[in-house]
Chain A
């Protein structure tokens, strides 16, 4: 009964129902969404990792990669060193190594001497005015017990993801190739792939493996079966290492099956006694803060969606892949790393079907703790939902006359309203008996404007993906200025009715906001299923847009001050301003970030930019226009 009367009260009070309540609900959604995220690292909400796929049997086999193999390793390393002229340091302290065809030939001959089938592939990519080219070399061990329908890939890149020389990694791959070739227990082919760098080489190779390479990339002369898993090896220094750093983020925030990660952790920790880190958290004390920090770092990488290592390019093809990086000063040598990889390959070799048992959507917060999608998705969905709630509320609000509640004798004001509306409304009949009446909505202009502004997002998208890299910084600053000026111009145009029709009525402003928020909510909730972190980040950055309204009630100076202040604050949250702020905070130059982004667009098929320019930017722009229009 009490509830019924409460509902009746609500129905009789449109202001509460359509203005106060949605604001409150939206705000609550955002708060709950953020708190939800912060709760995740607690023991009650996260889970210990476990191996789902029984066939993997991690660490159940003895690894024999020891003893005399070390001599082989040293021999190969010496041969390669001789060709590389290691030791010539450039000014910035990095090894300057030129990968000559001699080295490629050397690798080829080593593989051939070990009995592998070898092939090479040349590739070239152009992005933001920079040319990336190189030559991949790869060898295939045909499975003695298989029929060449499945394969595992071991990758060693000459340059690690941090641009260090990965001499030990490459040498280890060569040694393992010779060693693996002599075993008769492989039931999957093993492909050893040596690429010049982590950014483009694997992409060119994996694209060509699936015959989807662009013109500038050569096709592969030699192939094997369906790729089941890929492991990249990075050992970029000469001393012994302490820990393994496992990198698992793929392009566009796609993640490998959690079983692969778990297997690597289980083998390194359980069988070899090597600790494992993730997300560059070298000191992880399993406290709440450390877990939260790990999770947030993971989310930042996922949200940006760039390739974090040689393994990332495999993810779009549904090939689970990770990179093992050696870190720290300790007592583990290359043989321990080799045994870890041997054991990992043995586990993958056991697989009866593609990795599918475990999770594909997860957030890791420690090498043995994670939350799965069912637990974390609500937080991004709540934040996306707040926009939808607001959009629905605004839509319903536009359907009611503001003055309908006040009295029945408002016929004069209604007829005035009808006069301004080009479409006749049906509100001429008696009002008031059953609450407010339905008003006619003027849809054409709001729909056109919102669609048009979303299409306008294609312009910056095109510009930032095509201009040469040296102009990126200037372009960003120009865009900051454009973002300040454009909303004001649009606001002036709108308050003059675009020169076509009568000035906009308040209802149309509400409709513009409703459509913009509806689209934003729509896109973000779709995005949350594809890339949770990106959706959450953009949702939070757009959160103020829910609460911005066009004010025309208060007195003039106050209104100017308020909307001016609001515009200023909103401009701090515009996409280019956020980019500049983030670059300032992390100490990376804008040009580097944008070059990487353009590279991602051209080569990796990364679509973070599309979300930024076609979802975030239009929504932000419309928010600014609404705020700006209260000045004029």
Chain B
């Protein structure tokens, strides 16, 4: 197989850039690891270290109440040398994971699924970037770099999701569901992507071979997902020895949101303000809200399953319980696949400006709140609102553009006309 020169250049460039950053600024990874924007209780590398410490000493990693990540990460990191004395092996593992993610992305892009699927074919197919450019957008995105340097464990979830999608667009439905199972096992919320992913697999497979009916296909794959997650849980219980303890410390932690450390999301402030008696109710409401998008988007955008997945990742980046910039970087990684929709989007510049403003003002206000003591929690929360607003505008705008694209296809005569809401 001929190696693509550009791809090699982009990948090695990204690798060298990360290596340079680590070598030139040795304190940068630890600085980023401590930032609340990057590290949340469920993906923090510091907490992973704590869990690892307990695990190596044969104590249950969940005993300290600090570690809330999946147990299978522990044997993996136990193989690596100690981070304090030799940080490079761990760093390079993360660099490679980033490159793997980029490779999956370029596979997704090259399949052309974003512009032409079984039920839909975009109007402006010719406006698109190739796989290498999309990989470059992902690899040179500052949010991706920050996540990678901070050694946040969300990159593994990202890998799971991206490989699920890339296998799905290639028609390997079983691999796709296994990858999704891995991602869901790591951080629960990717399970919500199951429905659109199955649709994507179904569309791909029905183009090439004969497929069973929706219901049978769906049930088959649900069984695979359950099987894969079940298998991983079984392995985990062998490692920790106590199944229930680790489930309540990881998935319980995701579901019940007991840790209200500030992050870029909307939950922490809301639940700080909440009276305890309403807590359970609103946790239910918030989760329901998050899950509701799956049904709505799947029903409305049935013809473009990949777009549903992209949009859902955007929704998760805003509304999930412990979001960090790594979730946003995953959304930004998939968004360039819809390059052909950009001309139809109306508020890109404003959304991007809002995101830029909040990514500068966020750390400044956090500094004023925590270090200088001259601000308070509202400063930082206001900026997380702006951040979420920026993401929501981008999300809503891209969905608008996708719908407009569908509409133009249905009404070719009104192409290029301005739309008016009646």
A residues near B (Cβ < 8 Å) are 254, 316, 318, 354, 356, 360-361, 388, 391-392, 395-396, 423-424, 426, 429-430, 433-434, 437-438, 440, 518, 522-523, 525-527, 529-530
Question: B418 to A518, Cβ gap below 8 A?
Answer: no
Cβ-based interface call for B373 (8 A): yes
Pick from A396, A430, A525, A530: contact of B368, CB below 8 A. Answer: A530
Cβ-based interface call for B278 (8 A): no
Q: How far is the CA of A26 from the CA of B298 in the complex (A)?
A: 45
- Stretch of B81-89, B177-185, B356-364 contacting A (4+ beta carbons < 8 Å): B356-364
Q: Enumerate chain B residues within 8 angstroms of A525, measured Cβ to Cβ.
A: 357, 361
New A-B pairs, 16, CB < 8 Å, besides A522-B357, A522-B360: A316-B372, A360-B372, A360-B373, A360-B374, A396-B349, A423-B127, A426-B343, A429-B415, A430-B416, A434-B417, A440-B343, A522-B356, A523-B360, A526-B357, A529-B361, A530-B368
How many chain B residues touch A (Cβ–Cβ < 8 Å)? 23
Q: How far is the CA of A391 from the CA of B353 in the complex (A)?
A: 10
Pick from B353, B368, B373: contact of A392, CB below 8 A. Answer: B353
Whose C-beta in chain B lies nearest to the C-beta of A526? B360
Question: A530 to B127, Cβ gap below 8 A?
Answer: no
Q: Enumerate chain A residues within 8 angstroms of B368, measured Cβ to Cβ.
A: 529-530
B residues near A (Cβ < 8 Å) are 124, 126-127, 343, 349-350, 353, 356-357, 360-361, 364-365, 367-368, 371-374, 415-418
Q: How far is the CA of A361 from the CA of B379 in the complex (A)?
A: 14
Q: Enumerate chain B residues within 8 angstroms of A423, measured Cβ to Cβ.
A: 127
Q: How far is the CA of A429 from the CA of B415 in the complex (A)?
A: 9
Q: Enumerate chain B residues within 8 angstroms of A438, measured Cβ to Cβ.
A: 343
Whose C-beta in chain A lies nearest to the C-beta of B349? A395
Q: How many A-B residue pairs have CB under 8 A?
A: 57
Q: How far is the CA of A250 from the CA of B353 in the complex (A)?
A: 32
Question: B364 to A530, Cβ gap below 8 A?
Answer: yes
Whose C-beta in chain A lies nearest to the C-beta of B348? A395
Given A392-B353, A434-B418, A518-B353, A529:B364 Cβ within 8 A: yes
Q: Enumerate chain A residues within 8 angstroms of B374, measured Cβ to Cβ.
A: 254, 360-361
Given A424-B126, A518-B353, A318:B360 Cβ within 8 A: no
Q: How far is the CA of A518 from the CA of B66 in the complex (A)?
A: 41
Question: A529 to B365, Cβ gap below 8 A?
Answer: yes
Q: How far is the CA of A396 from the CA of B350 in the complex (A)?
A: 11
Question: A254 to B372, Cβ gap below 8 A?
Answer: yes
Given A434-B417, A529-B361, A426:B353 Cβ within 8 A: no
Q: Enumerate chain A residues within 8 angstroms of B417, measured Cβ to Cβ.
A: 433-434
Question: A318 to B372, Cβ gap below 8 A?
Answer: yes
CB distance from A423 to the nearest CB of B (A): 7
Q: Enumerate chain B residues within 8 angstroms of A518, measured Cβ to Cβ.
A: 353, 356
Given A522-B356, A529-B361, A424:B127 Cβ within 8 A: yes
Whose C-beta in chain B lies nearest to the C-beta of A354? B373
Q: Enumerate chain A residues within 8 angstroms of B356, measured Cβ to Cβ.
A: 518, 522
Question: A526 to B127, Cβ gap below 8 A?
Answer: no
The 9 A-B pairs with the shortest beta carbon distances in the complex, nearest first, are A360-B374, A318-B373, A526-B360, A429-B416, A434-B418, A395-B349, A526-B364, A426-B343, A526-B361
CB distance from B350 to the nearest CB of A (A): 8
CB distance from A294 to the nearest CB of B (A): 22
Q: How far is the CA of A530 from the CA of B362 in the complex (A)?
A: 12
Q: Enumerate chain B residues within 8 angstroms of A522, measured Cβ to Cβ.
A: 353, 356-357, 360
Q: How far is the CA of A540 from the CA of B114 in the complex (A)?
A: 47
Q: How far is the CA of A437 from the CA of B418 in the complex (A)?
A: 11
Pick from B350, B367, B415: contact of A530, CB below 8 A. Answer: B367
CB distance from B405 to the nearest CB of A (A): 12
Q: Which of A316, A424, A438 has the most CB of B within 10 A?
A: A438
CB distance from B23 to the nearest CB of A (A): 15
Q: How far is the CA of A211 from the CA of B373 in the complex (A)?
A: 19
Q: Enumerate chain A residues within 8 angstroms of B353, measured Cβ to Cβ.
A: 388, 391-392, 518, 522
Question: A392 to B349, Cβ gap below 8 A?
Answer: yes
Q: Which of A356, A527, A529 has the most CB of B within 10 A?
A: A529
What are 27 residue pairs bridging A and B, where the CB atoms are less than 8 Å apart in the complex? A254-B374, A316-B372, A318-B371, A354-B373, A356-B373, A361-B374, A388-B353, A392-B349, A392-B353, A396-B349, A423-B127, A424-B126, A424-B127, A426-B124, A429-B415, A429-B416, A433-B417, A437-B416, A438-B343, A522-B356, A522-B360, A525-B357, A525-B361, A526-B361, A529-B361, A529-B365, A530-B364
Whose C-beta in chain A lies nearest to the C-beta of B123? A426
Q: Enumerate chain B residues within 8 angstroms of A424, measured Cβ to Cβ.
A: 126-127
Q: Enumerate chain A residues within 8 angstroms of B124, measured Cβ to Cβ.
A: 426
Whose C-beta in chain B lies nearest to the C-beta of A252? B372
CB distance from B132 to the nearest CB of A (A): 13
Q: How far is the CA of A518 from the CA of B418 in the complex (A)?
A: 28
Q: Enumerate chain A residues within 8 angstroms of B364, measured Cβ to Cβ.
A: 526-527, 529-530
Q: How far is the CA of A426 from the CA of B122 in the complex (A)?
A: 13
Q: Enumerate chain B residues within 8 angstroms of A530, measured Cβ to Cβ.
A: 364, 367-368
CB distance from A601 to the nearest CB of B (A): 16
Q: How far is the CA of A254 from the CA of B373 in the complex (A)?
A: 11
Q: Enumerate chain B residues within 8 angstroms of A388, measured Cβ to Cβ.
A: 353
Q: How far is the CA of A433 from the CA of B414 in the complex (A)?
A: 12
CB distance from A628 to the nearest CB of B (A): 27
Q: Enumerate chain B residues within 8 angstroms of A392, measured Cβ to Cβ.
A: 349-350, 353
Pick from A316, A356, A426: contact of B127, CB below 8 A. Answer: A426
Q: How far is the CA of A316 from the CA of B415 in the complex (A)?
A: 59
CB distance from A590 to the nearest CB of B (A): 29
CB distance from B354 to the nearest CB of A (A): 11
Q: How far is the CA of A354 from the CA of B361 in the complex (A)?
A: 26
CB distance from A606 to the nearest CB of B (A): 15
Q: How far is the CA of A426 from the CA of B373 in the complex (A)?
A: 52
Q: How far is the CA of A424 from the CA of B127 in the complex (A)?
A: 7
Q: Enumerate chain A residues within 8 angstroms of B372, measured Cβ to Cβ.
A: 254, 316, 318, 360
Whose C-beta in chain A lies nearest to the C-beta of B363? A526
Q: Enumerate chain A residues within 8 angstroms of B373, measured Cβ to Cβ.
A: 318, 354, 356, 360
Q: How far is the CA of A528 from the CA of B394 in the complex (A)?
A: 27
Q: Enumerate chain B residues within 8 angstroms of A440, measured Cβ to Cβ.
A: 343
Q: Which of A440, A518, A526 has the most CB of B within 10 A?
A: A526
Q: How far is the CA of A399 from the CA of B416 in the complex (A)?
A: 15
Whose C-beta in chain B lies nearest to the C-beta of A250? B372
Q: How far is the CA of A434 from the CA of B373 in the complex (A)?
A: 53
CB distance from B24 to the nearest CB of A (A): 10
CB distance from A309 to the nearest CB of B (A): 19
CB distance from B34 to the nearest CB of A (A): 14
Q: Enumerate chain B residues within 8 angstroms of A529, measured Cβ to Cβ.
A: 361, 364-365, 368
CB distance from A253 to the nearest CB of B (A): 11
CB distance from B156 to the nearest CB of A (A): 29
CB distance from B368 to the nearest CB of A (A): 7
Q: How far is the CA of A426 from the CA of B340 in the complex (A)?
A: 10
Q: How far is the CA of A316 from the CA of B373 in the complex (A)?
A: 9
Q: How far is the CA of A388 from the CA of B371 in the complex (A)?
A: 29
Q: How far is the CA of A577 from the CA of B151 in the complex (A)?
A: 43
Q: Enumerate chain A residues within 8 angstroms of B361, measured Cβ to Cβ.
A: 525-526, 529
Q: Enumerate chain B residues within 8 angstroms of A426, measured Cβ to Cβ.
A: 124, 127, 343
Q: How far is the CA of A193 from the CA of B374 in the complex (A)?
A: 26
Q: How far is the CA of A530 from the CA of B353 in the complex (A)?
A: 20
CB distance from B28 to the nearest CB of A (A): 14
CB distance from A27 to the nearest CB of B (A): 21
Whose C-beta in chain B lies nearest to the C-beta of A434? B418
Q: How far is the CA of A530 from the CA of B375 in the complex (A)?
A: 10
CB distance from A190 to the nearest CB of B (A): 22
Q: How far is the CA of A360 from the CA of B373 in the complex (A)?
A: 9
Q: How far is the CA of A437 from the CA of B417 in the complex (A)?
A: 10
Whose C-beta in chain B lies nearest to the C-beta of A423? B127
CB distance from A233 to the nearest CB of B (A): 25
Q: Enumerate chain B residues within 8 angstroms of A360, measured Cβ to Cβ.
A: 372-374
Whose C-beta in chain B lies nearest to the C-beta of A518? B353
CB distance from A441 to the nearest CB of B (A): 9
Q: Enumerate chain A residues within 8 angstroms of B127, measured Cβ to Cβ.
A: 423-424, 426
